[in-house]
């Protein structure tokens, strides 16, 4: 479905008051939008990929003068359709990337695409063959601690969301109906067409929705409400990319910027439990305890099975003197995350605090 590319709108909206990219941009300041300034050249009410391409090409000089990501697009990204989500992803992550990394990311995805083009187009095969191509290119698929697509491309180490981002970009270029799907701390691609519905996971594996629900202990409520196992909209994808940048700022101990990016993320998707849990942690570090508690509570409304949110709220309740609430939350977190390395000691500490708060003799055992 046609949409206004965020990477274009975000750069122009700060320069042109009352910007309406469904019409065009008054580059010359004449008070009228006409000629090459128009986006919807056929007046059908939408702007498709080819109209965006024509608009960008015809206004390249003016756009290059603005600097920023426009120059990266013209230098390295014009092979892709202007409405490809890849541009948005790289634009958002460009705060942590240099020109060589941007160029390398575009080139890597293009190399995969060119090899996949030779794959028979029957059914959903190009999506599966993308994984074979990436393996041949020396890319390793594994979970790891990095959160940025740019860094994964540099390291040639792809986790589930980076691999899904590559497939999503390729599917868009090949007109394959594919969407990214969100599960707790996991992402994959879903193909839906002509009654066929198929999930494509990291490495080329395929699982049913029931497999995910059982393996990841997903709350039926969260599934029914579309929090998990539903196709992500364009805005929800943008929220994911802003969230990843926020996580990176947090790891760099820049809580102010982390909070700003979490707020942007929540603006694009107000129903992501992970965003609220992560933002709550940042607010707690910034001494906004009320805001942190509200975010942890919101995360648990959206996902009653969120172990991380119970863990976070447990520590906050402990800091606020609610030892009984802290113990209840930490015990629930331990039930939901039995393999966590941190929880046994955390639970022991909370039990000791609770016991001391009761002013009883003996101990918690």
**CA distance linking residue 30 with residue 179, whole number of Å:** 41
Q: Let me know how long the chain is.
A: 365
Q: What's the 3-state SS for 17-86? A: CCCECCCECCCCCCCCCCHHHECCCCCCCCCCHHHHHHHHHHCHHHHHHCCCHHHHHHHHHCCCCCCCHH
Q: How many domains does the chain have?
A: 3
Confidence of residue 173 (pLDDT cuts 50, 70, 90): very high
Residue 363 within a domain: no
Domain's final residue, options 23, 54, 79: 79
Phi-psi region of 283 (alpha: psi -120 to 50; beta: other; left: phi over 0): alpha
Question: Do residue 49 and residue 91 come from a single domain?
Answer: no
Domain's final residue, options 189, 210, 232: 232
Q: In this model, does residue 334 exceed pLDDT 90?
A: yes
Question: Do residue 22 and residue 36 come from a single domain?
Answer: yes
Q: In this model, does residue 363 exceed pLDDT 90?
A: no
Question: Do residue 44 and residue 95 come from a single domain?
Answer: no
**CA distance linking residue 2 with residue 37, whole number of Å:** 19
Question: Do residue 105 and residue 170 come from a single domain?
Answer: yes
Residue 203 within a domain: yes
> To the nearest 5 percent, what fractions of the chain are helix, strand and coil?
60, 5, 35
In the Cβ-directed half-sphere of 253, how many Cα atoms lie within 13 Å?
0
Average pLDDT (211-230) is: 96
Question: Do residue 63 and residue 90 come from a single domain?
Answer: no
Residue 18 within a domain: yes
CATH of the domain at 353: 1.25.40.10
Q: Exposed (0-12), middle (13-18) or buried (19+): which is 4, by Cβ within 10 Å?
A: middle
Q: Residues 247, 260: contact at Cβ < 8 Å?
A: no
Confidence of residue 122 (pLDDT cuts 50, 70, 90): low
**CA distance linking residue 324 with residue 285, whole number of Å:** 22
Please report, rounded to a whole number, the percentage of residues in the chain having pLDDT higher than 70. 96
Q: Residues 204, 126: contact at Cβ < 8 Å?
A: no
State pLDDT tens for residues 59-89. Answer: 999 999 999 999 999 999 999 999 999 999 9
Question: Do residue 139 and residue 226 come from a single domain?
Answer: yes
Quick one: pLDDT at residue 194? Answer: 84
**CA distance linking residue 323 with residue 357, whole number of Å:** 7
Question: Do residue 46 and residue 90 come from a single domain?
Answer: no
Q: Exposed (0-12), middle (13-18) or buried (19+): which is 281, by Cβ within 10 Å?
A: buried
Residue 254 within a domain: no
Q: Give the helix/strand (H/E) hosting 284.
A: helix 273-285
State pLDDT tens for residues 8-38. Answer: 999 999 999 999 999 999 999 999 999 999 9
Quick one: pLDDT at residue 365? Answer: 46
Backbone φ and ψ for 64, nearest 5 degrees, come out as -65, -35
State pLDDT tens for residues 90-105. Answer: 999 999 999 999 999 9
Residue 280 within a domain: yes
Q: In this model, does residue 121 exceed pLDDT 70?
A: no
**CA distance linking residue 283 with residue 290, whole number of Å:** 9
Residue 131 within a domain: yes
Regarding pTM above 0.75, the answer is yes
Question: Do residue 186 and residue 110 come from a single domain?
Answer: yes
**CA distance linking residue 169 with residue 162, whole number of Å:** 11
Confidence of residue 195 (pLDDT cuts 50, 70, 90): confident
Question: Do residue 113 and residue 226 come from a single domain?
Answer: yes
CATH of the domain at 148: 3.10.620
Question: Picking from 99-113, 138-152, 271-285, which range would have the lowest pLDDT averaged per residue?
Answer: 138-152
Residue 74 within a domain: yes
The domain containing residue 136 runs over which residues?
84-232
Average pLDDT (148-172) is: 96
Average pLDDT (128-157) is: 93
Rounded to the nearest integer, the mean pLDDT of the chain is: 94
Residue 365 within a domain: no
């Amino acid at each position: 479905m046609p949409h206004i590319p965020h990477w274009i709108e975000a750069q122009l909206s700060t320069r042109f008051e009352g910007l309406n990219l469904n019409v065009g941009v008054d580059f010359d300041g004449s008070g009228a939008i006409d000629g090459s300034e128009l986006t919807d050249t056929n007046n059908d009410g939408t702007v498709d990929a080819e109209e965006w391409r024509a608009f960008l090409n015809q206004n390249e000089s003016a756009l290059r003068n603005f600097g920023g990501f426009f120059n990266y697009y013209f230098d390295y990204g014009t092979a892709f359709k202007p409405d490809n989500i890849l541009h948005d992803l790289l634009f958002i992550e460009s705060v942590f990337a240099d020109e060589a990394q941007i160029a390398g990311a575009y080139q890597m995805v293009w190399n995969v695409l060119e090899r996949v083009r030779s794959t028979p187009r029957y059914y959903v095969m190009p999506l599966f063959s993308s994984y074979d191509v990436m393996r041949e290119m020396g890319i390793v698929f594994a979970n790891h601690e990095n959160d940025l697509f740019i860094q994964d491309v540099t390291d040639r180490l792809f986790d589930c969301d980076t691999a899904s981002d590559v497939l999503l970009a390729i599917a868009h270029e090949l007109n394959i109906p594919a969407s990214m799907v969100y599960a707790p701390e996991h992402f994959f691609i879903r193909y839906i067409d002509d009654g066929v519905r198929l999930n494509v996971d990291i490495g080329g594996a395929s699982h049913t929705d029931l497999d995910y629900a059982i393996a990841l202990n997903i709350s039926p409520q969260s599934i029914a409400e579309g929090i998990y196992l539903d196709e992500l909209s364009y805005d929800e994808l943008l929220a994911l990319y802003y969230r990843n940048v926020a996580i990176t700022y947090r790891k760099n101990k820049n809580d102010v910027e982390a909070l700003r990016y979490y707020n942007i993320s929540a603006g694009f998707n107000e129903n992501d439990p992970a965003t609220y849990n992560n933002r709550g942690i940042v607010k707690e570090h910034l001494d906004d305890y009320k805001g942190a508690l509200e975010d942890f509570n919101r995360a648990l409304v959206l996902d009653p099975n969120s172990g991380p949110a119970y863990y976070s709220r447990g520590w906050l309740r402990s800091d606020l003197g609610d030892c009984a609430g802290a113990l209840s939350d930490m015990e629930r977190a331990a039930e939901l995350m039995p393999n966590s390395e941190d929880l046994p000691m955390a639970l022991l500490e909370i039990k000791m605090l609770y016991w001391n708060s009761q002013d009883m003799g003996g101990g918690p055992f």
